[in-house]
Structure 1
Amino acid sequence: MKNLLIKLFFYIIGLVTISLGVTLTIKADLGAGAWDALNVGLTESFGLTVGTWVIIIGAVLIISNALISKSRPDLLAVLTILVLGKMIDFWMSAFAEMSMNSWIAQLVLLLAGILVIAFGVSLYIQPQFSINPVDGFMVALQKRFGLSLTAAKTLTETFAFIFAFTLGGPIGVGTFIILLGIGPAIHFFDHRAQKAMKRMLS
């Protein structure tokens, strides 16, 4: 029971941390990640909050992933979209008045957001529970069509990028900085988070 609680702690805290990082990248106003830009674009085009669109798109992807991979829907992934969606709305509200008055401040906020997202991802993947539907979309494509993870990731990001651009979402230089920087940042934190959880479990 203790081990389960520790793993659940890493999982939930990781998701909450990711939501904070996502909010920081959006507030930096240099361009958000492709999926986050899509959610912002949907908010600006159709209303509802960014977090609500995270939940809606996540639910659609859970069903789509099951159809693509010809398996049962990953119902536990619902937890990821609920936590991310609700917490993104919380942080967006908390930082509603935040505005950067120089591009240097924007860049610093963007880089901070990338590091926070990466730290959160490194925490939430340690217990090896259900992954969020966006990552599930990548895995479903990879397994169904025999793609490499890199190719599958590129396809899913391109899909989100096109729709975000069409909807007028915040696509910019920050979008490409996130795309290039998030992988190395996750790699930096991953083994540290792994060691921390192992210490707590032992």
Structure 2
Amino acid sequence: MPTEDPEFHQFTWLRRLPSRVVAPLPHDRRVRRVTQLLAGLFLYGVSDSMLVIARLGLDPWDVLNQGLARHTGIPIGTWAILVGVGVLVLWIPLRQRPGVGTLANVALIGSTMDLVLWLAPHVHGNDRWIVMFLGVALNGIATGLYIGGMLGPGPRDGLMLGISARGHSIRVVRTSIEATVLLAGWLLGGQVGFGTLAYAIAIGPLVHVLIPFLRVKLVESTE
């Protein structure tokens, strides 16, 4: 098997997809898993929007999306969708196969962001800090929900898994990808700030606890 990194084995269950172009929707606890997936993706889009609204710095991928948005006039959520599609193309040489959750991830998070940012009021003063911290916390919960539904990793997680499966440490792969994305987004004018740092520090511990806690316990094997 491709890697000796012990951290890799925490994520191997995400790779259990049938040998098809797109993994079919499994029967095992289908309603619970789909409900949890959709709730998680919606809340993820809301949490990303909260970081944008707070204007104190975004997570690395949204720094890139915001930088692209500022240069093109295309909304940041729409760029999240377009970048997600682009990342999925990178799955092809890695022989990764998307699940239902992967495709839903691409479509729903960005759509939710555009809707929330269109409806949400501006925040000022100390309210920005409250919104930022709540956004980071909600992002951790949302990640636990959608990944815990076990319907396929998001496009960015799948890219990380695909590269790490070639014998590289997940830590090194994830850090390298996010550092590259962050630098590119910053050069394009995306906002890097305290919110970016808070996200980087908090999201790992949050998902480490929440993914196992929120993971759906399957009755039957879906392999």
Structure 2-normalised TM-score? 0.80
Aligned match of 1:165: 186
Mapped to 2, the partners of 1:162 and 1:2 lie a distance apart of 41
2:135 aligned with 1:113 = yes
Contact 1:114 1:185 in 2 (8 A): no
Structure 2 unaligned spans of 5+: 1-26, 219-223
2:107 aligned with 1:82 = yes
Q: How high is the sequence identity, in percent, across the aligned residues?
A: 23
Q: Deviations over 1:35-78 (max 9, x none)?
A: 011111111111111111111111110011222x1x16527422
Mapped to 2, the partners of 1:192 and 1:72 lie a distance apart of 26
Mapped to 2, the partners of 1:87 and 1:2 lie a distance apart of 27
Contact 1:142 1:149 in 2 (8 A): yes
Mapped to 2, the partners of 1:36 and 1:19 lie a distance apart of 11
Regions of 4+ moved over 3 Å? none
Structure 1 unaligned spans of 5+: none
Contact 1:37 1:169 in 2 (8 A): yes
Q: Read off the aligned partner of 2:119 and give its amino acid letter.
A: A
What RMSD over aligned residues (CA atoms) do the two structures have, in Å? Answer: 2.1
Aligned match of 1:91: 116
Structure 1-normalised TM-score? 0.88
Q: Provide closer, same or farther for how the CA distance between residues 6 and 57 of structure 1 changes in structure 2, counting only shifts above 3 A.
A: same
Residue of 156, 160, 164 corresponding to 1:138: 160
Aligned match of 2:144: 122
Name the one with the larger helix percent. 1
Q: Provide closer, same or farther for how the CA distance between residues 130 and 75 of structure 1 changes in structure 2, counting only shifts above 3 A.
A: closer
Secondary structure of the 2:116 match is helix
Q: Deviations over 1:117-169 (max 9, x none)?
A: 1111111111211211111121122113x111111110111111111111000
